[in-house]
Structures are given as C-alpha cells and as structure tokens.
Structure 1
Amino acid sequence: MANPFTPKVVAGLCKDVYALTKIDTLDEAKKVLNTRYQGNLQFADNNMLVGKTGGPAFVKVKTAFGFVLVGQNQLAGHAFVLFRGTQYLADWLTNFNMLFGRSECGNRVHDGFNSSFKSMKPQIAPFIQGLPPGTKVHCLGHSLGGALATLAAEWIKQTTSFEVFLYSFGSPRVGLDDFSAGCTSLIGCDHVFRAYHKTDVVPCIPIWPFTHTPNEGRDYLLFSPGLLPGGKWHDMGEYVTSVTNGSSGKSLSWEKLYSNRKTDYSDVNVSAWLTDRGQCVYSLSNFQKIEHAFKFVIKKCLSVVGNMASFAQSTYTTLMDRLAFVLAKNSLVEGSLSTWITLLMKKIAQFLGLAKKLADSDNWSEAVIRDLLRKLQVKAQTMAKQALSHALADGRAL
C-alpha cells in the first residue's frame, strides 16, 4: 500500500513533537498544534506520554516523551503516536552492560528502550483501545523516539487489528535479528519507513548483533556531506530539510529517497574489501564496512557458534566475550576461515589506529580479540555520544 503521507509531513511531525514539549501548558500546545495543522490534528485525552527513564516525577508538557494525536477533517481515520528523543539515549548507548529485554512478540531488544516503552504502555493503551475500527495508526519518532516508535508499532500490530505504519529518523537499532525479522514480517516491509543521514552515527549503534527494522533492505538514505560522523546530521531539523525540495519547498517522494539507497553489501563485496591492501582509516563508511565484514566472518563460524540465541541470554558484554572466544578458536584452525578472521582483525586494528605491530600481527588470541571488540564498541559509543552532545550544545532537537 502506498504511504498516505509524504516524507516532509512525517518529518515535520517528528520535529514538532520537540516544539510542543517546549511549551509550558497543554492549552498553549493545543493552540500551536491547531494553528500549525489547520485544525486537522487534535490532542487525545490523557495524551502526554511520560516515561520512567529519569527527570522530574511530576507531569508537565515539558517532561513528556511524546503525544498521541487524533486526525480530523482531512486527516480523519488516522491516529498518531509520536515520540521524541532525550538525553538519556547517550547514557544508554555508553552502558557496557546492556541487558536484553523481550518485546511484545517475545523477541530480544535493548532493555533500556524496552523498559522505557513499557512504562508508557499504560498511557497509550486506552488511546489505542478507544480508536474506531478501520483507523490507520502511525507510530513516529526521531533518535530514541524512533526506537520507542518501533516497539510501539510491534505492540499495536500484535495486539490489535489496526493497520500500522512506522516512521523513524536517525533511530538507533532496537533489537537482534529475531526482533528485526519478526517486526518486519508483522508490520509489513512496505509499512516501515526508516530514514537516516549518511553521516549520522546514531543509526549505527548499538553495534552488531543489533540490527535495524526493516531487515529487508527497504530504508531511506539521505545525503549528508563528508566521511566523518557529525552531530549536525542527527538534528531533526536537518532531516526535515533533507526531505524537502530546496527550490519548490515541496516534499521529496519516498520513491526519490529510496533511489538514493546504496546496494546492500554482498559477500563478494565484503571479501573484496577484506582482501584489499588499502588502510582502513577512521570514517563512518569504514565502520559500516567492518560491521558487514564482522557478520560475514561470524556466518562462516556458525558451525561453532550454533544458534545465536544461546549467546544472548545475559548482557551484551557477555555476548561479545563469547564471540571473541569463537573467533579466537577458529583462528587456530588451518584454512580459509582463520585467514578471514586475521583479515578482519587487521582491519579493526587499522580503524582504531593501533600500533603497526598489532595491525600486522597474525597472533589473534581470545584476549587480543576481546580487547579489539571492546575498543571498537567504545569507539562507536564515543562517536554517538559526541554527536548527541553536539546536538544538545547547539540547542537542537535530539
């Protein structure tokens, strides 16, 4: 089914949720919303979504994580669940002992995201239950809000008969492969619209084995200059600009945005990159290539790894420790597998700017591999925190 809303409309809503949460009173927020959307959107009763991740315990518009809105007039038959990002995302992304929670469908997700969403469910549930049959429900969010919108979309689709659409801008990864595949299948790939800037680092974390929804290559790449991650390109205002035709001010189409998307990395692409003698310098592009290569090598180790489910029973740190063990064990086996592991470790070492002695090493013990994976995780989290801090310092929407 074609998306009933343009990228500019959706991005505008994701930006406006920040503006609405900067207003002191709900009455003032209602006036702003009514003016901006010409009476086509209204707040639902008990509309403010307040989570339990921190901040004041009392409820004000400014402490809200988002809003639920009902369409009327031209938007009749549509309902909207909007989430915003917060500074707590930076805290969660730098937590080395991330736990895995279970989504509505029982799949593995980031526990911080999941706990925050669960704390809002009692506020969202009456709104969803009160919608008339045939309503189309749109879950939207930017940054952390995109992660919350993803969990909300899965929950609503799993527990109701409503048609659900999911939109996110600059969202971090929410869960592991079981969640991404299950959520994509449940909602429908053609109902999921994930947009991201080329140099926005937040969509690159948490690093693998976390993966994005949808998992079928249907996402929307937006141009941003340079090779290094920049906080500017995580700003929701920049996302609005990127989906707007600069000369006409009209929205670009979803089809146009999709045409910007690069072809998925194939095993042939990954193997060519791993065997290339060029240095793996620090850039967001090379970080993404390392992730593709990591999945490529782990796939070759599946005979030892077995079912990944057994590797994700506790914390993310424990999972990475187990992967380090598997990689080290396979690096001792004669043949092509040990060669691929060596090539991957060298690329990671080069990316991290470690000493040439380590980058040229052929001795990949469990301790060395674990240390490299830990440093790669730290690097990714540092890049993300810097981007988020930059957005906060400049007063932009997280």
Structure 2
Amino acid sequence: METLSPSIAAECADAVYSVFSPDSMGNIPMPLSTQLERRFSFKGKPSPVMGETGGIFGLYTQTTGFAVIGEGRERHRNSTLIAIRGSSSIADYLTDFDVGIATGINNQSVHSGFEEAFASMRPSFNDRLAKRLTQAGPNHTVHCVGHSLGGALASLTADWLKSQFPVKVKLYTFGAPRVGLKGYATKNTNQIDAHYRCTHGADPVPLAPVWPFIHAPNEGAGEYRLDSAEGINFSAHRMGHKGTPGYRNTAETDDWGKLKRQSMRFLNQTVRLRYEDRLQASFTNYWSEKLNAALITLLKDAGYYSVVAGQATMSSALTFYDRLARSLEKIAEASTEFAEQTAGLLGHMLVFAGKAAVTVTKLTYQFIRWVFETTIGTLNRSVKKALESL
C-alpha cells in the first residue's frame, strides 16, 4: 500500500488551489512538478470537481472549483488521488464559521458547513469514481489530500469512500480544522487506513472549532508538527512556498519518519486550574488545548460531562454554549471547590483572550457566557485572518 511522501502530499494540497476558477471550457492549468506528473495522471487539463459553499441561510452561496482527481502511474498505478483546495473566498470562510451540527456519512455528528460543502461535491465524485473504484478491489488505495477547509472536506471524502467502495483510504491534511465531535473522530480514526495530519505550532485554524469538536486521529501519535513555533500567527496557516513558514517548505522531505510526531497533549488528561495562577496562560496552541482539557475535567468532576456532551449533538454552537454557561453556573453553585475550579478556568480563559485585567467575581450565567464569547471570538478572529490571507 503506497504512501504519498510529505513533499508530494504538500504539492497536491497547494496545486489544487488553481481549480478555483476554471476557464470557459471548464478546464484549469494545474502547475505540477515532474515528480508528481510521474506518479499521477490528470489527463492534460483536468476538469475540476465543483463544490458549493455559503453562509447561514444560504447567503453568499458560491459554486467554485474545489477538487481534482488523478490516476496513479508507475509505483502508484494501483492508486487514485483526490486533492481538495482550502478556503480562499468570502463564501468559503463563512462556511468555516457556520458552526451547526449535521449527521455525516459515518452517522456521526460533524460541522454542518463542511457536510453541506461535501454533499454538493459527492454526486460528481460518484460519477467519476464509482466504476473505477468498484472494479479496483481491496488492494487499491485512494489518497485524499487537502489544506485548510480542503482538509476537512478530504476527511469527509475519506469517510464516504470507505462506506461505498472496497478500497484502502489514506488521509493527508495540512492546517485542517476539526471536523466533528468525539464520535466522529473515533469512527474516522478506526476506519481510515492511515492518517497524516500536519500542523504548524502557530497555525490557528487547527484550533477551531473549539470543544466539543475534536481532531481525528484521536488515538496514537496524533499529528505531525512540522515546525517548533509557539503563539498564534495567521501567517502560519499558508500552504505555499512563499508562506512563513509555509507547509510546502516544512514538508519538503520524502520520509514521514523524519518529521516530528506530537500527540494531543491534553486529550483525556485531568487538568484543574487555580485562579491565582491565571497569569501563566498565553494566547498559544498549548493553552488552547489545556483550556479544553480543564473544561472537560470540570464537567467530569461535577458529573455533567455526559449530559453536556450529549447536548452538543442536538444544537448549534450558539445554543450549546448557552447551555454550557448555565451548566457551569449550576456547578459553581454546588460547592466551594467547584466554584474555585470554575473561577480558575474562567480566569485562565480571560488571560488567553487578552483580558487579564478582568476580575472573576460573580459566577453568573451572564458572566460565564460572556467569557466564552470573548475567548472563542478572540480565537476566531485569528482563524478568520488566516483564512483571508490565503
């Protein structure tokens, strides 16, 4: 079962951006290296798979080129490549922030905007792939590749392929956001044959959407961290050679074994935060993950985790965080210990969001709701800036 090298996977994720605006004949000139052309055929000027993205209630809906399909050559002759582009238009980044919940192809809860975008491409994928993959058999491998929103769509495409065809599927993503809730991440982890999730330390996009969304794979080494950067910097999301650092640059190797692996540091770990230590927090990937873990720990300590996590599958993000704030108010009222633990969490969240001067006094629903809005809003502004920079 052949694997794409980091450099080839990164080139695919970058080159597919050229499909955004096909010519009058529906074709696009795709810039490919000799190395990639030796491995996959795109049949001259490939016609892209179109996809539809848009904001809430269909506002600003836009249909654009989203993906290309390549047939394997030489040692990849028993492979198919699907490359899906990331977010580079207003319609696309509105989709990224339209955080509702939908049921994905694997019957688990996923980001509704991602699911709607994938659903618009699925008929075209089926038309182009069904005959080839039905006849291919279990030794055939499909490589799904994407950057940013393209990584999320590649993940959903991989799920669909495993549900429809007797093939192996490998998933390669760069700077991809979280696609679904825990059930989705677990099922995706177990059914996809190999995951290569690549991130930069300062890239804000993989931090969104926040909990209860989580990344797949949610077991094992987790991700390939391609640099050692800290903080959060919108430019760290860029794919091309001109980016700083640029995923094409940091993935410039033929060996996955040479890249640094990093587990999700706080997944399933107990984290309790003291209010007096809040100034240790900072606007970084590290603290984003640690705050998620501290919230989950508090909910589990108070016996609310199962109920709150279950509510996530039945509501939009707006409604979910309203319910979460009410739950934390009740938890804080239950005991002095829980009140202190809640204050510690909120205090660290405020410092993360640049609001260190705000003092946590009354643990009311209104205040807790405001802290969540402020914290998530601060992170989302960085994510939006990163997407707009593509």
Q: TM-score, normalised by structure 2?
A: 0.86
Mapped contact 1:94–1:382 kept (Cα < 8 A): no
Query: Measured at CA, do residues 23 and 317 of structure 1 come closer, stay the same or move farther in structure 2, by a change above 3 Å?
Result: closer
1:352-380 deviation line (CA, Å, top 9, x unaligned): 33363x4242x211111111111112111
- Greater alpha carbon shift after TM alignment, 117-126 vs 334-343: 334-343
- Quote the Cα distance in structure 1 between the aligned partners of 2:226 and 2:195: 16
1:290 matched to 2:320? The reply is: no
Q: What is the CA-CA distance between 1:67 and the residue it aligns to? A: 0.6
1:88-146 deviation line (CA, Å, top 9, x unaligned): 34213444xx3211111211111110001011000001333122223211111000000
Q: How many residues in Structure 1 have an aligned counterpart in Structure 2? A: 372
Query: Measured at CA, do residues 256 and 269 of structure 1 come closer, stay the same or move farther in structure 2, by a change above 3 Å?
Result: farther
- Structure 2 residue aligned with 1:223: 227
Query: Measured at CA, do residues 226 and 258 of structure 1 come closer, stay the same or move farther in structure 2, by a change above 3 Å?
Result: closer
Q: 1:322-333, aligned counterparts within 5 Å?
A: 322-333=323-334
- Structure 2 residue aligned with 1:212: 215
1:185-218 deviation line (CA, Å, top 9, x unaligned): 1114xx0111010000000001111111111142
Q: 1:42-81, aligned counterparts within 5 Å?
A: 42-43=41-42, 47-53=47-53, 63-81=64-82
- Structure 2 residue aligned with 1:344: 345
Q: Secondary structure at the match of 1:282?
A: coil
Mapped contact 1:231–1:387 kept (Cα < 8 A): yes
Q: What is the CA-CA distance between 1:309 and the residue it aligns to? A: 2.2
- Quote the Cα distance in structure 2 between the aligned partners of 1:19 and 1:51: 14
- Structure 2 residue aligned with 1:5: 4
Q: What is the CA-CA distance between 1:343 and the residue it aligns to? A: 0.7
- Structure 1 residue aligned with 2:314: 313
- Structure 2 residue aligned with 1:166: 171
Q: What is the CA-CA distance between 1:35 and the residue it aligns to? A: 5.3
Q: What is the CA-CA distance between 1:282 and the residue it aligns to? A: 3.3
Q: Secondary structure at the match of 1:306?
A: helix
Q: What is the CA-CA distance between 1:339 and the residue it aligns to? A: 2.2
- Greater alpha carbon shift after TM alignment, 144-153 vs 41-50: 41-50
Higher relative contact order (CA 8 A, sep 6+): 1
For residue 188 of structure 2, the aligned residue among 183, 204, 208 is 183
Q: What is the CA-CA distance between 1:12 and the residue it aligns to? A: 1.1
- Structure 2 residue aligned with 1:248: none
1:85 matched to 2:90? The reply is: no
- Structure 2 residue aligned with 1:281: 282
Mapped contact 1:157–1:187 kept (Cα < 8 A): yes
Query: Measured at CA, do residues 143 and 267 of structure 1 come closer, stay the same or move farther in structure 2, by a change above 3 Å?
Result: closer
Q: What fraction of aligned residue pairs are identical, expressed as a percent?
A: 26
- Structure 1 residue aligned with 2:120: 119
Unaligned runs of 5+ in 1: 245-250, 392-397
Mapped contact 2:279–2:351 kept (Cα < 8 A): no
1:136 matched to 2:141? The reply is: yes
- Structure 1 residue aligned with 2:239: 235
1:43-90 deviation line (CA, Å, top 9, x unaligned): 3698521112258978xxxx3101111112332000011100122342
- Structure 1 residue aligned with 2:57: none
| AA in 2 matched with 1:204 | L
- Structure 1 residue aligned with 2:368: 369
- Structure 1 residue aligned with 2:386: 387
Q: What is the CA-CA distance between 1:287 and the residue it aligns to? A: 2.8
Q: What is the CA-CA distance between 1:327 and the residue it aligns to? A: 0.8
Q: Secondary structure at the match of 2:272?
A: helix
Unaligned runs of 5+ in 2: 55-59
- Quote the Cα distance in structure 2 between the aligned partners of 1:120 and 1:282: 36
